[in-house]
A = this chain, B = another copy of it.
Amino acid sequence: MKFGGTSVADAARLKRAAGRIVAKREQGFRVVAVLSARGKETDRLIADALEVSPVPDPREMDMLLSTGERVSCALCAMAINDLGHRAISLTGSQAGIVTDTSHTKARILEVRADRIRSALDEDSIVLVAGFQGVSTAKDVTTLGRGGSDTTAVALAAAIGADECEIYTDVPGVFSADPRIVPDARKLDVVSFDEMLEMAASGAGVLQLRSVEYARTHGVRIHCRSSFDDSEGTRVASEDARRDQDMENPLITAVTHSRGEARVTLIGLPDSPGIAGRVTTALAASNVNIDMIIQNEPRSAGALAELSFTVPQDDVAAAQAALAPIASELGIEVDTDDAMGKVSIVGAGMKSHPGVAAKVFTVLGEHEINIEMISTSPIRISCVVPGDKVADAVKALHSAFELQGADTIRPEQPFGEFS
């Protein structure tokens, strides 16, 4: 069971989470729960850091931020003990989450769950501080954005959990963001592949890394609300999905993301390997490229261009990483950070041609310019002007008839991270 920051934000919510954990235990399950830092605690710690240092040292940032989840776990363990059950909280290190040494963005190398297992054998409920681990250099590390989801899935895999329940501030995964599309439908089951594409294309409810990890290790995820007992959305293998969802619609969901930026390199020398050098430089600076498009000059004298999208937050890093190459090769670097992206995702589209055509037609009818396009067997994504994102989502959601009856309005913004 993983509870996000809003689910433990205050004493009342934290006790409710404790109650849910105990209820699960009393159903006969052995429970390992992963908790995030409370509400805005991580923001508070970051603010404290920026107060003393403009560019905080990453190792120390991890030491600092890792305290937030420990506080949540200790408090929750107290609450559970008061409910007459034995609970112990473990830091990421105590839980055996061994990571590499890349601070603030560490990757999990290994999970040594011995201590968790022995605690479970002693009939204790185990609370693990999410978002963190211990590096091979014995330093505290954090897993970066969405780290607690990854912690939960990694532990579920390590201990062979029946299910990894991600309790969040929305009832599940929807056919679109209900704040944009009020009659969006809650999905009962999505496949790992669909969930990956959705997470990658802006569905904030589950974090990409955790879904990747779950697919690799076959961890069954149940994404559900921490505010009620209703069934959420299960993320499972294709087969499970097909079994449980006979109709298997053409399209499963429309996702979107704002905060995209497009970087265009103009005047590339017409020589091989440039794209490789560019992407290598960006990777070295931990800049995540999303779409990338290269157009060879057709007419003589025309300049070759390379365009790619990155999160707006990474634009500065991208420019810094590209500066040397640009000056060396006389390339002009142009950025536009008012971009958004809208995507349709659905395992069903694999077997249906013409989906792309429909997407472009619909957007065209709504006079939405498509700046870039990328596709996968189960996804079509279009980069559009940021101020057109909502229109595009609405148009596609209704064009593919995704609306459902059981409409809800989440009490929190989508996508609770950490």
> Which of B11, B60, B74 lies in contact with A78, CB distance below 8 A?
B60
Complex-state Cα separation, A251 to B48, whole angstroms: 46
Complex-state Cα separation, A64 to B81, whole angstroms: 15
Q: Is the CB of B64 within 8 A of A79?
A: no
Shortest Cβ distance from residue A191 to the other chain B in the assembled complex, whole angstroms: 39
Q: Is the CB of A48 within 8 A of B67?
A: no
Q: Does A15 contact B (CB under 8 A)?
A: yes
Whether A64 touches B75, Cβ cut-off 8 Å, given contacts A52-B11, A52-B14, A53-B81, is yes
- Within A59-74, the residues touching B (CB, 8 Å) are 59-61, 63-64, 66-67, 70-71, 73-74
Dominant SS among interface residues on chain A: helix
Q: Is the CB of A15 within 8 A of B63?
A: no
Q: Is the CB of B70 within 8 A of A63?
A: yes
Query: Which residues in B have their C-beta under 8 angstroms from that of A63?
Result: 70, 73-74, 77, 89, 91
Q: Does A413 contact B (CB under 8 A)?
A: no
Q: Chain A 42-65, CB within 8 Å of chain B: the 1/0 string?
A: 000100110111111101110110
Q: Is the CB of B53 within 8 A of A74?
A: no
Q: Is the CB of B48 within 8 A of A75?
A: yes
Q: Is the CB of A75 within 8 A of B59?
A: no
Give chain A's interface residues, CB within 8 Å of chain B: 11, 14-15, 18, 45, 48-49, 51-57, 59-61, 63-64, 66-67, 70-71, 73-79, 81-82, 87-89, 91, 94, 115, 138, 140
